[in-house]
Amino acid sequence: MPGRDGLKAGKEIIEVGRRMWVKGWVASNDGNISVRLKDGGFLATATGVSKGFLTPAMLVRLNRDGRPAPGRNRHRPSSEIRMHMEVYRRRPDIGAVVHGHPPVATAFAVAGIPLDQNILPEAILTLGAVEVAPYGTPSTDEIPEAIAPLIERSNVVLLANHGALAFGPDLLTAYHRMETLEHTATITHLAMGLGRVKTIPKAQVKKLMELSEKLGIQGRVTLKSSKFKVQGSKDKKG
């Protein structure tokens, strides 16, 4: 089970929060980040703070059950920490979780369109099929319940009318998966505008999966082969 030193985890959270804010994946106090620690607890961003201006005091220490550690925090944890804990409970291989609202990926979530076509080698190797979890009211148990069936077979989940959730063995990997998600969503959206999304042939996808095993790429990847509906044209097979 992965786990980070508290001081290093704090520095990483602050840097990743800044990157997310600079990239426009979060606005105002949106988004949240958490990391599993060596002692079995967690470090997470506080509620009501901008991810672009985080300081160590804005990070919250949590016990193994996700509750604030007594006497160790100035702030309350994000009200969405429950969906992070759902990931950690179901995926002991996960060491960090990132939640944000990357615009293009979130647009697919709002439209209810999964990013599950085999169109880019990098996405196939690191993301697999990205499904859309049913809508749940933020800060309630509805979101953890909605994502539960999906997080066990993927590294990234789109949240209907909400945003995206990425996770990995460490924070940098989780962040990179969110970055790959937004990059893939942007390219997919542009291809749809051109009138065709051409997929990678199954034989080539098989080669990529074999390559993934050789490279020892971590995480769980599920592949699908659905088709996007492209405005102004008929569905076409790649």
In this structure, is residue 231 part of a structural domain?
no
Helix (H, G, I), strand (E, B) or coil at 2: coil
Taking only the tens of pLDDT, the chain with its 238 residues reads: 787 788 899 999 999 999 999 999 999 999 999 999 999 999 999 999 999 999 999 999 999 999 999 877 789 998 899 999 999 999 999 999 999 999 999 999 999 999 999 999 999 888 888 999 999 998 899 999 999 999 988 899 999 999 999 999 999 999 999 999 999 999 999 999 999 999 999 899 889 888 888 887 766 667 765 455 544 334 333 3
**Stretch (H or E) spanning 133:** strand 132-133
CATH number at residue 92: 3.40.225.10
Structural domain span for residue 126: 6-215
Distance (Å) of CA 84 to CA 12, 66, 170: 17, 9, 14
Rounded to an integer, what distance in angstroms lies between the CA atom of residue 105 and that of residue 159? 10
Q: What is the full DSSP assignment across 200-211?
A: PPHHHHHHHHHH
> Structure pTM?
0.89
Report whether 168 contacts 179 (CB < 8 A). no
Q: How many CB atoms lie within 10 A of CB 160?
A: 16
Considering the domain boundaries, does residue 21 fall inside one?
A: yes
Structure tokens at 97: 């979780």
Indicate whether 233 belongs to any domain: no
Task: Give domain status of residue 200, yes or no.
Answer: yes
